[in-house]
Amino acid sequence: TPQAGAAILGQPNQLFVLFFTEMWERFSYYGMRGLLVLFLVSEAAKGGWGWTRAEATSLYGWYTGMAYLLPVLGGYLADRYLGTRRAVLFGGFVIAAGHISMFLNTVPSFYIGLGLVVLGTGLFKPNVSAIVGQLYGPKEDNARDGGYTLFYMGVNAGAFFGILLCGYIGEKVSWHLGFGLAGLFMILGALQFYFSQHLFGDIGAPPKAEDRAKVAAAAAAEEAPAHVVADRLKAIFVFSFFTIFFWFAFEQAGGSMTIFAADYTDRTLVGTSGFAFKVVNSLMTVLPALILTWLLWKLNRSTGSRYLLANTLLGLAFAVIWGLVIWMLAREFALEQSEVPASWFGVLNSFFLVILAPMFSKMWERHWNPAGPVKFGVGLVLLGLGFAALSYGSAGIPTGAKTAQVSMIYLSLAYLLHTMGELCLSPVGLSYISKLAPARLLGLMFGVWFLNTAIANKLAGVTGSYIDEISNQYSMSIFFMIFTAIPIGAGVVLMLLTPWMKKKMHGVH
């Protein structure tokens, strides 16, 4: 049965295998992505390629665009031939090969590496999201919502440590070691998934070639009537469409908030606050590591000694993480620190997410679980409110000013609101795809879901430079006001669509 095995936090233990597998994949994705532009623009003397910022961001745009475009293909392949589990395994090793290729430090191997990471991500990303949904029965909607929220915590735990550790090692030690570290964890993650296969039984198994027709017929017999399927697919497309507004504004936020942090935020610390900052910084790093270690311990206890190898690999990866975290903190403590680094704000998103995800998961399961369009709407409104905080905070900055001294509070508040919005929308969307898509199209529909991120990324890239001009002529505050209005408007429209969406979902909550 899908629920076989002991439960952790009321969830099937396979969820946590997927949690960690996805965590290492995201570790490598965000870790490498964070290094990419920095490496390309850094001068040859510092080990980089000395590209212009425009050239580097263009490659970056292509790379992230393709990584979110190819899941359509990867999802389709899994539905038709591979099954979700094999697609994840295969994808994981292809990604790892890509990182190793980038580690090799030659021009051709760098490009081959990027290509492999993109291909592997196309196979891995939609399908790991699909298997999570396959763990739950049709009547376990609340557990499923909570499960996807925890899974999303894994996504961001990976992003957190990837950005922090690959970034630190890449910038301060060597670019290629940074790329290599991303690969090392991907290998461990893929192996851990491989050695945990027994836990999954039939879940995510490939459709057998000889009886593909029979399987298809059986699936069709179980499936809802054709008009219901068609309606539910429409609901998927509406959900996916609204994520364009979300990821468009969110990606724009990533860029503009980093600039805001670097140029307009007062990050100076005086007196003993340098030490206080180091303490905060250490807590920020150690807290997520503690939470994850606890989850790892629970997983080990629930899967037992049969999975010793998988658990040993996982433990090994954690030992390396702890070692690196402590090493990094020790190095930082030895320094005279008087200013909060601008890059620190970038990891606030995944930090808040790891801390808040368990609370949201509990909230959906036990207290408040409104209809999907309402959650989506709330998510978009929260995103807009984050920008409103920035708009308010930057109101005093004269138009065209290159620097200012705005309190860090506004930026931190914006990251908090954005993260809460993300928790109402992104994992919720994954859960809805898994409930609304017919089994035979599951991977493909997750591909469609990520396709909208590719579109949003592209849009954000195109308007980014244009809006730069606007903000030169008008003010930062107006720039942020535009991004307050877009998501809030989209959120309200989606909330108004709730009755229509409920009809199209035919009883799926």
C-beta of 437: minimal distance to ligand GLN in Å? 16
Nearest to ligand GLN of 21, 453 (CB atom): 453
Q: From CA 350, how far away is CA 33, in angstroms rounded?
A: 15
C-beta of 201: minimal distance to ligand GLN in Å? 26
C-beta of 247: minimal distance to ligand GLN in Å? 5
Cβ-contact 114, 400 below 8 angstroms:
no
Q: For residue 8, list its beta bridge partners.
A: 11
Nearest to ligand GLN of 71, 113 (CB atom): 71
C-beta of 77: minimal distance to ligand GLN in Å? 20
What are the structure tokens assigned to 105, written together?
């430090």
Q: Rule CB under 6 A: is residue 247 a binding residue for ligand GLN?
A: yes
C-beta of 48: minimal distance to ligand GLN in Å? 26
Nearest to ligand GLN of 169, 455 (CB atom): 455
Q: Rule CB under 6 A: is residue 64 a binding residue for ligand GLN?
A: no
Q: 3-state class of 255 per DSSP?
A: helix
Nearest to ligand GLN of 119, 340 (CB atom): 119
Q: Binding string, 312-351, against ligand GLN, x = CB under 6 A?
A: ----------------------------------------
Query: Which residue of 155, 191, 310, 420 would you call a contact of ligand GLN, by CB under 6 A?
Result: 155
In 3D, which of 464, 458, 466, 447 has the Cα closest to residue 61?
458
Query: Which residue of 426, 431, 434, 471 would you call a contact of ligand GLN, by CB under 6 A?
Result: 426
C-beta of 122: minimal distance to ligand GLN in Å? 14
In 3D, which of 369, 440, 447, 443 has the Cα closest to residue 147?
369
C-beta of 494: minimal distance to ligand GLN in Å? 16
Query: Which residue of 285, 453, 471, 484 would you call a contact of ligand GLN, by CB under 6 A?
Result: 453
Count of residues of this chain found to bind ligand GLN when the rule CB under 6 A is applied: 6
Q: From CA 260, how far away is CA 312, in angstroms rounded?
A: 43
What are the structure tokens assigned to 174, written together?
């060597």
- Reduce the secondary structure of 355-413 to three states and give it as a string: HHHHHHHHHHHHHCCCCHHHHHHHHHHHHHHHHHHHHHHCCCCCCCCCCCCECHHHHHH
C-beta of 27: minimal distance to ligand GLN in Å? 11
Amino acid type, 420: M
Nearest to ligand GLN of 156, 311 (CB atom): 156
Q: 3-state class of 265 per DSSP?
A: strand
Q: Which residue is nearest to ligand GLN (CB)?
A: 453
Cβ-contact 448, 72 below 8 angstroms:
yes
Nearest to ligand GLN of 14, 453 (CB atom): 453
- Torsion from C-alpha of 432, 436, 440, 442, nearest 10 degrees: -20
Nearest to ligand GLN of 155, 253 (CB atom): 155
Contacts of 353 (CB under 8 A, 6+ apart): 152, 153, 156, 160, 419, 422, 423
Determine phi and psi for 144, rounding to 5 degrees. Answer: -65, -45
In 3D, which of 43, 29, 61 has the Cα closest to residue 465?
61
Q: From CA 432, how far away is CA 507, in angstroms rounded?
A: 12
Distances, alpha carbon 433 to alpha carbons 11, 448, 450, in Å: 19, 10, 11
Nearest to ligand GLN of 328, 428 (CB atom): 428
Q: Rule CB under 6 A: is residue 253 a binding residue for ligand GLN?
A: no
Sites of contact with ligand GLN (CB under 6 A)? 26, 155, 247, 426, 450, 453
